[in-house]
Homo-oligomer: A and B are copies of this chain.
Amino acid sequence: MSQVHVHRVEVCFGDCDPAGIVFFPNFSKWMDTASLAFFMACGVPPWRELVKTRGIIGTPLLEIHTRFLKPATYGETIEIHTSVEEWGRKTFRHRHLVRRGDDLLCEGTETRAFCVREPDGRIRSIPIPEDIQALCL
């Protein structure tokens, strides 16, 4: 359970492919943006500050699952409704609903982990910081 944040996107010409519809990886990009917007709306600092204060580089993806129901095109405004539907010990799962007015265009989940960078440059997941989780409820 968590708050729900709505992120608005204006679809651009360059987001669309030769079929005239949104090139689907852009939906993944927008869900990623919606994830960060969710945390920032909850009061979490952007990753470039957290990396300095706590070594946290962000919340890399472990898994995504997306269903595409209706296409969108440029000149349209879409909304991404983002929440956290499950908090584990080291991972959490976002749910994103992409809407254009009353139409559900696309829905998906993202499984992510908070990660730090080790001194040797490797990226390692950490338990979900309790204070960050508390901000999102």
List the number of copies, as a whole number.
Answer: 4
Q: Which size bracket describes the interface of A in this complex? A: 35 or more
Chain B CB within 8 A of A68 CB = yes
Docked CA distance A38–B62 (Å)? 26
Cβ-closest chain B residue relative to A115? B19
Q: Interface code A89-105, partner B: CB below 8 Å = 1, 0 otherwise?
A: 00000000000000000
Instruction: Give the distance in Å from the alpha carbon of A25 to the alpha carbon of B27 in the complex.
Output: 9
| 20 A–B contacts from the bound complex (CB under 8 Å) | A12-B36, A13-B18, A13-B23, A13-B36, A16-B18, A17-B18, A18-B20, A18-B48, A18-B74, A19-B57, A19-B58, A19-B123, A20-B48, A24-B32, A36-B74, A48-B73, A48-B75, A60-B71, A61-B68, A65-B66
